[in-house]
Every structure is written in structure tokens, then in C-alpha cells.
Structure 1
Amino acid sequence: MSVQERKERERAGRERLIVATAREIAEEQGWDAVTTRRLAERIEYSQPVLYSHFRGKREIIGAVALEGAAEMAAALRASIAAADGPRARVTALARAYLDFAERNPAVYDAMFRLDGGLAFAQEDTPEPLKDAFAALLEGLGEAARDGARPALFTEVFWAALHGLATLTRAGRLPRGDAERRVQLLVDRLALL
């Protein structure tokens, strides 16, 4: 291995450490607690080292969002792979989405609430975000082909899931009816 390859591997390792640590702090204490000073102390590197990888917190949030999008896409695909039949796939997809949002609140915030400098629904949208949307589209399958444009149908279904996730987390919807909401969403939108 060349010196250059070793340096690149070390740099990539530092970036993964920075992102993982930011995510850990955010999940424990919220995004307000994620500062370059706190990150530098936790990973035992200087603040200039952090800035050599990321221009600031916004880029770190973006990196966490991209990592989260890749994880969400994998979770969505795994859920539909285990389901039998179109209706079961759509139900599993909805449950997996809501479960991801509940288990990873800081990551979900990085993906959809905070400004990580990422473009959505544009040509320069990063691949992990496109792939998460593609996983939703794939999971909806036949339901997304009920006469509407599949991407448009997927956007509406996603918006409904996002609303459920956000309102439940904020305590605006009682958690006890979560499963009934999923069934209602599938019954009304999927039309399978």
C-alpha cells in the first residue's frame, strides 16, 4: 500500500468517526449539543482537523443525512422483501419507514428537518437520497400504478408517512393508534 493510499484510508476513517460521533451526540442530547468543540473533544482531534473534513456543522448534518438515507433505503427494501403480496409489502414499507423515524430521531431530523445543504428532487440530489426515494417507489409497486404517476403517488405516500412520523414524535398523535393509522393509510391510498 502506498503512502497516499494509507493517508486516504486514514482520512476516510476520520470522516466516519466524525459523522458517527456527531450522530451519537445528536441522538443522546439533540443537534444543538453537536458543536465542533464538543466533537473535537470527543474524538480527540483538534477543531482544525474537523474543518479539514467538513466546513462546519451544516456539512456534518448533511453527511449524517446521507448515511441515514442509505440505512433507510436498506430497511425499506428489507421490509418489502420479507412481505408476501402487494398489500403486505405496502404495509411493511409503511411500518419500516415509521420504525426508522422512531428509532433514529436525530438522523431523521438531519434527513428532513435540518439544513444539511442537500438538494431534494433535483438533478443534483445526492444518490443516497435518490435511492431512499427509489426504495419507497419500489415498495409501493402496483399501488403506485393506480392511474397516477408512480413518482407522484410515492411523494403523496411519503408525505403521509412523514406527517405521521413527525406528529407522533411531537406528541400530537397518540402512539396507541399507530397501527390503525398505518392500516387506514394503506386502505385509502394503496387501493390494493
Structure 2
Amino acid sequence: MAVQQRRERERAERHRLIVEAARELAEAEGWGAVTTRRLSERVEYSQPVLYSHFASKDAIVAAVALEGFGELAAALRGARAAHVDAHAALRALADAYLDFARARPAVYAAMFVREIDVPFGTEASPAPLKAAFGEFLGALEPLAAARGDDPETLAEVVWSALHGLATLSAGHRLRPDQHDARVELLISRITASPAD
């Protein structure tokens, strides 16, 4: 049993190294620079070893994305938990989301821009993705209830709006000096009572 456990640990470590190398290379040079040849050189394993862990580059990108969803969920949870007020909690969540996108552009692209074989919005969605979405739900459920909105739909709309802000900001399509005003306008509209 000890030999089997050691092999499993070694395999898990190789898997981690490959994902880490892909992520580092993508952040430094973009996803176009991530090839199995370059990864093989970087982690010092042969290409067949890489293919024993991942069927393709797309599978490696998906692994990076799943890791990113776990990190995003933790960042959103920490931001949201620091505030009791619904407006402040949602603003902190929005800032954490946008900060994540800005600080990790290649990981963010793997999660939300590149095509990956990961089911979104279904029961089959992976746990890290559900956890990140769950943070949006946690922040928005009380607001949705007060407005009579479906919480998941409201969460999808807010997530979409933040994704748009992140993507347009990364592409230098928005006025940088208006970042805070845009985020505050979005949060104010979402948190306003229906009578406002």
C-alpha cells in the first residue's frame, strides 16, 4: 500500500507542477506561448508524461481555470464576509472580482474567455465554479428577495456586468479614471430598493 500511495503522491505532484508551469508561462507570455514542448522543458518531464496527465493543452487550460475558480471563490468570500451591509458587501465582492481579473489576466482568460470543457450553470459544474458563483448568490439573495428577482438570474447579471467591466478595462476600452464611478454606479443600481 505504501508504494501505491507514494506513486499517487508523485502523480499528484507532477500534475500540480504542470498546472503551475502552464499558469506561470501564460501569465508571463500569454496562452499562445503554452505548448506541450515548452511545458515539458519547464517541468523536466517528457511530453508523453504530460499527456499521461492531460489529454491536450485545452485540458491543461481547464485545470488552470478550475484552480482559478477556487482562488476567486476564496477572494470573494473574504471580501464579502468582511461586511454586514449589503451595499458594502457587494461593493467589496465587485472590487475583489475586478482585482482578481486585473492581477491574473491569463488565469482569468482561462476561466472566462478561452473555450474550456467545463460545464457552467448546471448540476455538473465543478465545485470550485459553484463556490465562486455561490459567493455572488450569497451577496445577492437578500437583494433579490426584496426586489422579487430570481437570485440566480440576478447573480448572472451582476457577474456578466463585472465580466464586461473586467474585459473592457483589460482591453483599455474604458476611461481608467472612471473605474470607481462605474463600479459604484453598478452597485448602487443593484442595491437600490425597488421604490427608488
Scaled to the shorter chain, the TM-score interval is over 0.9
Structure 1: gaps spanning 5 or more residues: none
Q: Is the 8 A contact 1:62 1:118 kept in 2?
A: yes
TM-score by length of 1: 0.97
How far did residue 116 of structure 1 move? 2.0
Matched, 1:139 2:139: yes
Q: Could you say which residue in structure 2 is the equivalent of 1:178?
A: 179
Distance 2:140 2:154 in 1: 9
Structure 2: give runs of 5+ residues left out of the alignment.
none
Does 1:11 pair with 2:11?
A: yes
Say whether the 8 Å CA contact 1:65–1:111 is kept in structure 2. yes
Aligned to 2:102: 102
> 2: CA distance between counterparts of 1:165 and 1:155?
15
1:120 deviates by 0.7
The answer for the alignment partner of 2:80 in structure 1 is: 80
What SS is found at the alignment partner of 1:100? helix
Q: Is the 8 A contact 2:18 2:39 kept in 1?
A: yes
Residue aligned with 2:172, SS: coil
Structure-2 residue corresponding to 1:56: 56
SS in 2 for 1:125: coil
Contact 2:76 2:96 in 1 (8 A): yes
Corresponding pairs, count: 192
| Mapped contact 2:86–2:191 kept (Cα < 8 A) | no
TM-score (norm 2): 0.95
1:46 aligns to 2:46 (yes or no): yes
Matched with 2:123 is 123
Question: Sequence identity of aligned pairs in percent?
Answer: 55
Aligned residue runs from structure 1 range 144-155, under 5 A: 144-145=144-145, 146-155=147-156
Per-residue Cα deviation, 1:42-81 (whole angstroms, up to 9, x for no partner): 1111000000000010000000000000000000000011
Q: SS at 1:173's partner residue?
A: coil
